[in-house]
Amino acid sequence: MGDELDEHDRALLRFEARAWRSRGARDAAIREELGYSPTRYAQLLNSLLDREAALAFDPVLVNRLRRIREQKRQRR
C-alpha cells in the first residue's frame, strides 16, 4: 500500500464527512451503500486515518477524527 489513496479510500472519507441524523441512519447506510458491517467500516476508517495521503486529501476531517479517536483512547 503506497501513500496514494485509491477511489475506495476517497469514498470512505467522503462518506464519513457526511452529516447523519442518527447513528442508526449512518449504520444502515454503511451496510446499504458500502456493503460493510459498522465494525468493519470502523476498522477500515481507523486504518485510513493513519495515512498521510488521507490527511492530504481532507485535513479537516482527518484531524477531527484523529482527535476523537485519541479522546476515546484516553478514556479507556
For residue 1, the model assigns a pLDDT of 46
For residue 28, the model assigns a pLDDT of 97
CA distance 62 to 64: 5
**What's the predicted TM-score (pTM) here?**
0.86
Cell of 69: 479517536
CA distance 17 to 61: 7
For residue 2, the model assigns a pLDDT of 55
Q: Band the pLDDT of 10: cuts 50, 70, 90.
A: very high
Query: pLDDT tens digit string along 12-68?
Result: 999 999 999 999 999 999 999 999 999 999 999 999 999 999 999 999 999 999 999
How do the domains of the chain map onto residue ranges?
7-75
